[in-house]
Amino acid sequence: MTIEVSNRGGVTYPAPEVEEAIVNAFHRLYWTKRTWSLQWMGHNMIKWPADLFIYAELLHRNRPDVLIETGTYYGGSAMFFAHCMDLIGKGCVVSIDINPGSRRPEHPRIIYLEGDSVALADLVREEIAQIGESLQVMASLDSDHRKDHVARELDVYKDIVTSGQYMVVEDTNLNGHPVHPEHGPGPWEAVREFDDARFRVDEALPKRHLFSMHTWLRKEQA
């Protein structure tokens, strides 16, 4: 196989379209092998490790008071976020799941809510109000990955997330972007139709690690 290359600064790189094909092939391989099923301190999570680095960077840089997580699963991600907040010295996680797994980790920075993430939006607002006033709020949307549900989550949480913080739409790689083409319309399609001028896609974050499984929406203004 012949691979066209270019030389930039004394370093040889594949042509951009070839590089993209290589990255997508690795992305699909990583997904297929399920090597992204991880544990954090003994608790299961489903994440691409580089995305955890991005989360840690954002938590350190933006220092939200509250991170809303939809989709608790077994709680590994919630524990990871809480431990990052321990290191930073501030913040709590409000983690929501309609059918949470057993053995969820307990941590003083984690608040668990059980139910539909859209239906519980008002309760989430109440929980945030009880924590304090004028709080910085970030969100990670990782529950039901069908397009209609993700679209509803975007609609209800867009006003809860505060300016300068992120609303992360997880698993926008589904439905052939570039993995699991048989999934059907999902997070990627919901983000594509999301129309709110206050948010922009931060394309720089995933490029640091070649790719991300998520879309990182930054809220620019209230």
Tokens representing 165? 């913080």
44-61 in b/e burial notation, b at 16+ Cβ within 10 A? ebbbbebbbebbbebbee
What does pTM read for this prediction? 0.92
pLDDT (mean) for 58-81: 96
CATH code, residues 38-219: 3.40.50.150
Q: Per-residue pLDDT tens for 162-195?
A: 999 999 999 999 999 999 999 999 999 999 999 9
Q: Work out the mean pLDDT of the chain and round it to a whole number.
A: 93
Segments making up each domain of the chain, as ranges: 1-35, 38-219
Three-state DSSP class for residue 35: coil
Confidence of residue 59 (pLDDT cuts 50, 70, 90): very high
Q: Give the H or E element holding residue 6.
A: strand 5-8
CA 76 to chain CA centroid, nearest Å: 14
